[in-house]
Chain A
Amino acid sequence: MSEQTLAPGATREPAGSAAGRPGRTWQSFVKPVLIGVVLLFLLVFPLYFDAFWLRTGFAVAGAIVGAIGLNLLVGNTGQLSLAHGFFLAVGAVSYTYLSGTEGGFGDTTVSGLGWPPIVGMVLAVLITGLAGLIFSPIAGRLRGIYLGVASLGLVFIGQHVLNSWTSVTGGFNGRSVPDFTLFGFSFGSADPEFSVLGVPYREAERLWYLGLVLALGAFVVARNILRSRPGRALETLRDSEVAASVMGVNVQAYKARAFLVSSMYAGLSGVMYALSIGSIAPESFGLFVSIQYLAMIVLGGLGSVGGAALGAIFVAGLPLVFQRYADILPLVGGAGGGLAAGEAARYLYGLAIILVIMFEPAGLAGFAQRFRRRRHRPGGKTTRPPLDRSSTSGQSTNVSERPAQGSDPA
């Protein structure tokens, strides 16, 4: 309820600065213009960058979707889950099974239904949501850390199923993933061929746009959820279950919904992961994947949708970029000595997690917020409430985000 304490300071300032409404200052245009520029940049990106960056972009887009989903659950609802890797696997495997064809290599044969990829994708998302919903009664009974470790179990059970259910998952070696097509327009090959401004649009370019659309969609949906009634309910529930239920929030139902939505995001992210790698294997969905996603949202800032996206870019993009520039970067060596690219990235974000929790619990989003605040209120008279130690990191983002929302009602 820090809103109340902040409100007087926030409303007095514009009233004092001008008699009557000052109308739109140039500052109120900064945000939409900035968004427009970024969008334009993302749209023309394939014209100027090669396939490596486009493929990295698609992989990162997949991670963004997954991170946003996990953030809804952990950051906003306060349910620690280490099962994200499992839900990614459900999505990836469902898509591959539904849209894949029968076949196999070696002595493993896999079956598939061969349905259109878009149907496969939608159904995969729904199936993953269902899996989340099935887990939610167990999850609903558990609190905090017990839930964290219980969800850990899901990852190991998932690994076992992936290794054993060969006809669907391809077993230990995995299976290849069918390309994505939409009404005859293929995202996995250059069919039908076309080019824009002399740049041929092949797989990488097409996947880039697919990733862009899905990630943006995921972003917008999550923001809308959080800024409306369900979002408020979830955050109240996180801060105090008792208070939430007193206010008329059906705690169990909302927890279940949070699991449903979060695992649907994970399902989509799994499908995108499968598409970007081109094959699925059990080792791609182990415990470490769950930890990676947790790293993303912690780095980005628990509870912030934009933060989750930033964290995903950092954690998912870093190893790929390291790999690419292995021979230029110091310490990161390819064959002779030095660290492997993946290892270097792991050290970095392991360290980053510790530093973020210790010094900036609101993560990258907190940095951005602080920077913006300083610009908005020159003179150093920042009326930022001191963050007390006992508040969760999610709450503190909340504190700093509310006034920002209130201040641009136009």
Chain B
Amino acid sequence: MTQFLSLLVNGISLGTIYALIALGFVIIFKASEVVNFAHGSLLLLGAYTIAVTADDLGFVGAALLGIVVTAVAALIIERLIINQLRGAPVISLAIVTIGVDIIILTDLIRRIGSDILNVPHPWAGDFIRAGGVGISVNRGVAMLVAAVLIGLFFLAFKYSSWGVAMRASAEDGETAALMGIRQGQVSALAWVVAGALAAVAALFLVGSPTPGVSPAVYTVALAAFPAAILGGLDSTGGALVGGLLIGVAETMAAGYQDEMLFLGRGFGSVVPYIVMLLVLLVRPSGLFGTKELTRV
């Protein structure tokens, strides 16, 4: 039972990190109809920036710089490429971001090489224990920060003028534009927010129990794709639920690996995708996604 609780807590903390990534993914989709395949490499960019500047700027400075750099990178992508392609088919937009992803990822992998860059979190590898249930401080902090950020995001989404503008343009871009909502601004801001969220996720994703910044972080970040998809690509609440679900499922599968050896070692990393496929089989637009209606 303690093992189960332990895994549950760890799974939820991993899930909140996924939720941060997936949330960015979803708001980009809502604001600009882009499925951003470059999200993983944006995240890696944030992690890399934090890792290489941490010695000079200290942890907090580096973290802030990483967030700014990632947000600016996302903004540049949006301004230079996505904004030029407004109205292009969704698949073309997705493929463009794959091009962006190839470039950023190749560059980062070349820089990182086979090293594992260390990020000096002030809490290092500390552990909290309560009874038999343990969680690394890093993941604990992640859970708190993510909860605050996600809460703030939902408040802003509901009440701020940006949130209203964004929901309006996601609902019906043309009408929103006629009402004086500037689509370009909404979309740019969405990319900035998504970039920043990805960098925050990166900050915690590279801490204990993960060893540090390596190209493998990109693969971990990819698990947020299934989270966004199974929640429903256009549902922010879905991203949160999807993230938690994927996080818990993955951690459970990894934790009970020994009981499921017939499925092979390292089965945990595949679980997000299996969960996603199962959910999509039953609900093709995800758990909370709007169904596409066809009008003839």
Closest to B265 in A: A164
Interface-lining segment among B159-167, B187-195, B225-233: B225-233
Partner among B96, B107, B269 whose Cβ is within 8 Å of the Cβ of A354: B96
Partner among A141, A160, A241 whose Cβ is within 8 Å of the Cβ of B266: A160
Given known A142-B280, A241-B294, A389-B88, contact A291–B98 (CB-CB < 8 A)? yes
Q: How far is the CA of A393 from the CA of B84 in the complex (A)?
A: 15
Whether A160 pairs with B91 at a CB distance below 8 angstroms is: no
Partner among A150, A164, A357 whose Cβ is within 8 Å of the Cβ of B276: A150
Whether B266 pairs with A392 at a CB distance below 8 angstroms is: no
Binding site for A on B (CB under 8 A): 35, 81, 84-85, 87-92, 94-96, 98-103, 106-107, 110, 222, 225-226, 228-229, 233, 263-267, 269-270, 272-274, 276-277, 280-281, 284-286, 292, 294, 296
Closest to B225 in A: A149
Closest to A166 in B: B264
Closest to B87 in A: A389
Among B94, B266, B281, B292: residue with most chain A CB under 10 A: B94
Q: How far is the CA of A321 from the CA of B166 in the complex (A)?
A: 48
Q: How far is the CA of A285 from the CA of B273 in the complex (A)?
A: 17
Among A150, A157, A349: residue with most chain B CB under 10 A: A150
Residues of A contacting B292 in the complex (Cβ-Cβ under 8 angstroms): 143
A153 adjacent to chain B (CB < 8 Å): yes
Whether B91 pairs with A145 at a CB distance below 8 angstroms is: yes
Contacts A78-B91, A153-B274, A153-B276 known; 17 new A-B pairs at CB < 8 A:
A141-B284, A144-B91, A146-B233, A150-B229, A153-B273, A157-B273, A160-B266, A161-B264, A164-B266, A291-B98, A294-B98, A350-B101, A350-B103, A354-B103, A358-B81, A361-B88, A389-B87
A37 adjacent to chain B (CB < 8 Å): no
Whether B225 pairs with A343 at a CB distance below 8 angstroms is: no
Among A157, A164, A295, A352: residue with most chain B CB under 10 A: A164
Whether A357 pairs with B102 at a CB distance below 8 angstroms is: no
Residues of A contacting B276 in the complex (Cβ-Cβ under 8 angstroms): 149-150, 153
Interface residue ranges of A332-387 to B (CB < 8 Å):
339-340, 343, 346-347, 349-354, 357-358, 361
Q: How far is the CA of A74 from the CA of B98 in the complex (A)?
A: 15
Given known A160-B264, A291-B102, contact A141–B281 (CB-CB < 8 A)? yes
Partner among A145, A343, A390 whose Cβ is within 8 Å of the Cβ of B106: A343
A152 adjacent to chain B (CB < 8 Å): yes
Interface residue ranges of A102-147 to B (CB < 8 Å):
138, 141-146
Given known A78-B91, A343-B110, A392-B91, contact A152–B266 (CB-CB < 8 A)? no
B76 shortest CB reach to chain A, Å: 13
Q: How far is the CA of A161 from the CA of B273 in the complex (A)?
A: 13
Whether B98 pairs with A152 at a CB distance below 8 angstroms is: no
Could you tell me the dominant secondary structure of chain B's interface residues? helix
Q: List 14 A-B contacts (CB under 8 A).
A: A80-B91, A80-B94, A146-B280, A146-B284, A146-B286, A148-B35, A149-B226, A346-B106, A350-B103, A353-B98, A357-B96, A358-B85, A390-B89, A392-B92
B92 shortest CB reach to chain A, Å: 5
Among B226, B263, B272, B284: residue with most chain A CB under 10 A: B284
Closest to B93 in A: A357
Q: What are the 3 tightest A-B residue pairs by CB atom distance, in nearest-first order?
A: A164-B264, A353-B99, A153-B273
Q: How far is the CA of A165 from the CA of B281 in the complex (A)?
A: 26
A219 adjacent to chain B (CB < 8 Å): no
Closest to B232 in A: A146
Closest to B34 in A: A145
Among B102, B226, B263, B274: residue with most chain A CB under 10 A: B102
